Structure 1
């Protein structure tokens, strides 16, 4: 076997392990979505929404810290430690008997939210530049694998064991995958710094301020949608979110070791990428969260859309979302490399909008739902790889993990907004006294909000000047950075002369 063949096999092995390891992040969402009705029966509709959104909000605080630590102490270490914390959180959710303890477990599960961003950085460090765009698509395809298997697996677990079965499975998966990752992933190319330097470069208070600001914002918006903008929850949470956000900005401004490098936000390419990603993810998460609940709504008089499916039967109506997403990952990588990531994002957002609009009709035929799910899922897969390539093109090598952490934070904020805010629109149309069943009008309005979010994302991408040329895997950014450095050094030399 030649050295080239050995290198390719090694890269394939790294990709396989990264897909398995990062699969825990999408699984904790796609497995919990089918369990939403089981959670609502135990904790009410508001409690189920909180359990679903809590992990994304916790990830908002963890991801910037993980990205920063990954750049300092090593990406492999960060992946392994975050996976271990996720396992502890899964065990707590599986055994907890009260909503506060389940929420605490979900907060611990949020530690794995940055795994995909760190995995992207490992790909950028390990693979030749010309293979990076496609490799990012393969890693992103893990989201599609979970989309195919999770509805069926979640259906079996929920129907037999309730929501606890989902968390027991996530715990077992973590225990199996972590040793594989420890053996297969490469050590970082750059030696880590000393312990004192690591502590100086880790801004925990900044990360907590960001996470609490995001949680307060999502909570306040959700309370406003559910109970009105004059409700105590909205009146208290929204000003709190503003104060925390201001505190975060004041702390991070000018720091040498920020939780999030605000200097990156000064780049128009980064700002545009984050905005379009947040809008798109809000739309995709809304549909993915609500569709299983729609299909599992018990049949009752006056509720024409209700199918009364079990969680497993509902999987037979939604699995094409995963097929589409799985195909969208590598195809999106090829499209980004040949036509540019901006075109990939535009195609993704158009497909997501079409799928969401289709679901507003509350289709009653399985074939229609399967077709819409395929279109919607393909758009979702394209979206993730488009945003990964857009942000990779926008940041230099030495800030790779920090930059990809930004896109991961944005995706988590979008997911929390979709599941907790846009999905809350349906609660304005309750049916019955228990508050877990809602009229079709509520679901239609929520799906329409998802479509509007996707259209706004598309309009944002149309104005984007970044990503119009074929993706380079960050090579263009690296060369530009080197040229800028050389120019600065030349200028310094002239001044000295």
Structure 2
């Protein structure tokens, strides 16, 4: 299933995939800049918040399903298809005459969530082993670069042309990226035909993940005891159990649950869950503390615009360090690289606690260690753990499953950090809630604990014997008649 290219040709593939990843994360992050303007137009912040939730729901499902399809029908087709649907969503959002229309367009944009796992699989197919892990680190950096460009471009577009212009911009970039993806190498022949794909397994997977993710994201709004929350979580978990049972019995499962028997893949999923629920929730804490007035007893008093510029600059720092995580994975192994990144993040979070009453420069320095340098190195290491633990023909599928775990864990982490912050809030002038030092410290301790837990989880993966990731090892279950050699 592999077809390694020359260094020059493979470099062009890396650029094309990086641009696609940037589009994905630009679409994810640009909405945050537009939220204040949308609050003014549509009123209720809880309703407007669905523009974030709908994207996350669809992106989680698209990551899993798109990853599997990328292994079967080829990255080029899946990437172009995902970008085409995302462009359609951008156009619908730009032309929206009602909130439901805008919400529909935003949900369609979530199909871009398929890009990253498919891109990882394509890299493994065409990049030489000597360059692979560094290339994966660079591609992971697209998350930071996309965020930086999303903040910058959305801010300028909204200031001069209004919030609808951000969707016009994303549509143009999506079309350009799709055209570039058409230049990707043609996929090698797959032993699995499209009609043999387990679409029932893919269909059961989607509502199960969506129900769980929706229940988690609405915990704060609806309350933990709300019957809607309980119903969504119970229904999602039950359907997930049905799905797992079905996939384990299927000869050519849409998602091979048996991949979780591979220690390195299992460790990568547990590790990224801890990492996503912890360090990736850092922005929810940092934004209020740097903007809160020092007169309240805690805070640095930066304006929203100044903080926005700083966030953009720091995102570029994250992008610069992502290849470092890939390079370390290449030199010393993905597990050791992840441990180093998690350690740096832990030091940074502890430093943030120490400097809560120091200068804003010192606080932001430690924030850079935690949320940019350490985060970038760790983020780039997890897909490389997948590369070390699964056959190449399952790379997109495995990284797609890993991204689903990441989405659900991050949603839960964001909710928990928000609850910890709100738990220590007091009434300020005019009745507005003001966060206290105790609430910030509680949230920071939570982040420290999860960041530390990443280390032993990944260490256990490093201690396991090297796994057989050959294509022969991928074929572990009987194959239906007429479908020769399909890996399970």
TM-score higher than 0.5: yes
Change in CA separation of 1:162 and 1:118 when aligned onto 2, cut-off 3 Å: same
Q: Tell me, yes or no, if the aligned pair for 1:83 and 1:174 is still in contact at 8 Å.
A: yes
Q: How does 1:370-449 map to 2 (within 5 A)?
A: 370-375=364-369, 376-423=371-418, 425-428=420-423, 429=425, 439-440=435-436, 445-449=442-446
The aligned counterpart of 2:26 is 27
The aligned counterpart of 1:336 is 329
| 1:186 and 2:185 aligned | yes
| Stretch moving more, 184-193 or 7-16 | 184-193
The aligned counterpart of 2:455 is 458
Q: Structure 2: 5+ residue runs without aligned partners? A: 478-488
1:373-432: per-residue Cα shift (whole Å, max 9, x none)? 421211221122211110011111222222222222223223333445544544554757
SS of residue matched to 1:190:
coil
After superposition, the CA RMSD in angstroms is: 3.4
Match of 2:271 among 271, 276, 288: 276
Change in CA separation of 1:440 and 1:27 when aligned onto 2, cut-off 3 Å: farther
Q: Tell me, yes or no, if the aligned pair for 1:121 and 1:401 is still in contact at 8 Å.
A: yes
Q: Structure 1: 5+ residue runs without aligned partners? A: 1-5, 486-497
C-alpha displacement at 1:249, in angstroms? Answer: 2.0
- C-alpha distance in 2 between matches for 1:90 and 1:165: 10
The aligned counterpart of 1:323 is 316
Change in CA separation of 1:402 and 1:224 when aligned onto 2, cut-off 3 Å: closer
Match of 1:353 among 326, 346, 353: 346
TM-score when normalising by structure 1: 0.82
The aligned counterpart of 1:477 is 469
| 1:199 and 2:198 aligned | no
- C-alpha distance in 1 between matches for 2:9 and 2:59: 30
TM-score when normalising by structure 2: 0.84
| Stretch moving more, 108-117 or 386-395 | 108-117
- C-alpha distance in 2 between matches for 1:320 and 1:272: 32
Match of 2:233 among 212, 235, 238: 238
SS of residue matched to 2:188:
coil
- C-alpha distance in 2 between matches for 1:279 and 1:94: 36
C-alpha displacement at 1:18, in angstroms? Answer: 0.9
- C-alpha distance in 1 between matches for 2:244 and 2:432: 39
Match of 1:254 among 249, 252, 262: 249
**In the comparison of the two structures, how many residue pairs are matched?**
468
- C-alpha distance in 2 between matches for 1:391 and 1:303: 45
- C-alpha distance in 2 between matches for 1:288 and 1:430: 21
1:317-354: per-residue Cα shift (whole Å, max 9, x none)? 32343233212221111111111111111122223333
Q: Tell me, yes or no, if the aligned pair for 2:426 and 2:436 is still in contact at 8 Å.
A: no
